[in-house]
Amino acid sequence: MKYRRILDAAVEVIAERGYFHSPVNAIARRAGVADGTIYLYFKSKDEVLRAAIDMAFDQFSRQMEEAFETLRGPREQLEYIAQAHMDRHASMAIHMQREVRPFLGESSQRHLAKYIEMVREVIRRGQQEGVFRRDMSDEVVAHFMFGVMDELLSSAVFAGLEGEDMAGQVVDVLFRGIGA
């Protein structure tokens, strides 16, 4: 379906060139549709971006919720989040909201907030279960986690860190750091 083709093309093109260097016609070309067609499915270019980010986060959320039904321990859950975040394709759109936070407004905030909230819950439960230290703000820890993952992800592109098991190292440091 074209709706999806456009979204995927947008993610690809924007990931390569950045949002503001990605003219609508470039997205259209990549999607194999005419420029005007995009406006049959989306109200504006911003809307395409918004939808792409929405899609990525929603998918991410769903993936987590599903996994958490069988993965119950805080440690396992954090590990899973890190692993999933590191998966390049899924997270490219998540990463995109960086470039775009200043003007995408509450939509962008909302998704990030949801990601953060998800992590906070894991942390809080870990704290209740006595697995994690209690002397730390769960909010700070959650941003902490998101920040590391996102930076490693984007640096990987430039710095050639692709080989390393980054998610593993991150979780390892984090656990020691916040473990009780």
Among 8, 45, 125, 139, binds DNA (CB under 7 A): 45
Among 4, 16, 18, 40, binds DNA (CB under 7 A): 40
Burial 147-175 (b: 16+ CB within 10 A, else e): ebbbebbeebeeeeeeeeebbeebbeebb
Q: Which residues contact 152 (CB under 8 A, 6 or more apart)?
A: 86, 161, 166, 170
Among 4, 18, 44, 179, binds DNA (CB under 7 A): 44
Degrees to nearest 5, angle at CA 136 with 133 and 93: 105
Q: What span, in angstroms and rounded, lies between the C-alpha atoms of 176 and 54?
A: 33
- Phi/psi for 72 (5° steps) reads -105, -25
Closest approach of a second copy to the CB of residue 18, in Å: 4
Is 151 a binder of a second copy (CB under 8 A)?
A: yes
Query: One symbol per residue from 101 to 130: x for binding a second copy (CB under 8 A), - otherwise; what is it?
Result: xxx-----x--x------------------
Q: What span, in angstroms and rounded, lies between the C-alpha atoms of 116 and 60?
A: 12
Stretch that binds a second copy, among 41-49, 86-94, 122-130, 138-146 (CB under 8 A): 138-146
Given DNA, a second copy, none, residue 143, with its beta carbon under 5 to 8 Å by kind, binds a second copy
Which tokens sit at 172? 């390892």
Is 40 a binder of a second copy (CB under 8 A)?
A: no
Could you tell me how far CA 112 lies from the centroid of its own chain? 8
Binding site for a second copy (CB under 8 A): 16-21, 98-103, 109, 112, 136-137, 139-141, 143-144, 146-152, 154-155, 158-159, 161, 164, 166, 169-170, 172-179
Residues within the interface to DNA (CB under 7 A): 2, 21-25, 33-37, 39-41, 43-46
